[in-house]
Structure 1
Amino acid sequence: MKKQLMLSLALLVGSLTMTAQAYDGTKCKEAGNCWEPKPGYPEKVAGSKYDPKHDPNELSKQALSIKDMEARNQKRWETLSKTGKFVYDIEAN
């Protein structure tokens, strides 16, 4: 019984290592660059059905929020320079 268990365990481990060794990373362009598109994926994504068509307004939201943040920080700095007291909620004043 013990011999049969050890044999089946060795067979299982051997088969798992062989499946892991069978994958060679497809056709690598260079070391570590092994990505390949699926068959039917276009060379150029723009204009294809895979194009995400991002809304420019959505993309500019982060830039606008950073500008607003910098303006608030400037107001905080000016208030700190004038009064010597740091006020976080500058919009309320």
Structure 2
Amino acid sequence: MLKKIAYALPSVCAAGFVLAVTTFSAAAYDGQTCVAPGNCWEPKPGFPAKIAGSKYDPKHNPKELAKQSESITAMEERNAKRVAAFKKTGKFVYEVEKIAD
């Protein structure tokens, strides 16, 4: 009897797997709701169609966004000092602190 159960168990597991796969694929995105040809984007279930104004909309802090522009401005100033020193001496110095004014 134990042999019969051992042989029947893999087929039951396989049938359960097939059922699970077909159930999942039926609930998956089917590509039928298209705004235009090739534009078939749909939000995942539970997500809003538009992010703006929803709880998924990132709230950007203006101070955090300004950090990048400040660092770029500082980088451009350092590069301008390097170029001026190179034109003056003919030797490139990377460390701005070592450039004599």
Do the structures match in fold with TM over 0.5?
yes
User: 1:32: Cα distance to partner?
Assistant: 3.0
Distance 1:50 1:44 in 2: 6
Sort the Cα spacing of 1:26 and 1:69 in 2 relative to 1 into closer, same or farther, 3 A. Answer: farther
The residue correspondences of 1:33-44 to structure 2 (distance < 5 A) are 33-37=39-43, 38-39=45-46, 41=48, 43=50
SS of 2:80's partner is helix
Distance 1:36 1:23 in 2: 8
Where structure 1 has 5 or more consecutive residues not aligned to the other structure, the ranges are: 1-11
Query: Which portions of structure 1, spanning 4 or more consecutive aligned residues, are displaced by more than 4 angstroms?
Result: none
RMSD after superposition? 2.9
TM-score for the superposition, normalised by structure 2? 0.57
SS of 2:79's partner is helix
TM-score for the superposition, normalised by structure 1? 0.61
How many residues are paired up? 75
State the match for 1:57 in structure 2: 63
The residue correspondences of 1:1-93 to structure 2 (distance < 5 A) are 24-37=30-43, 38-39=45-46, 41=48, 43=50, 45-46=52-53, 48-93=54-99
Instruction: Check the 8 A contact 2:42/2:49 in 1, yes or no.
Output: no
User: 1:40: Cα distance to partner?
Assistant: 5.7
Identity of aligned residues (%): 52
Q: Which has the higher contact order (CA 8 A, sep 6+)?
A: 1
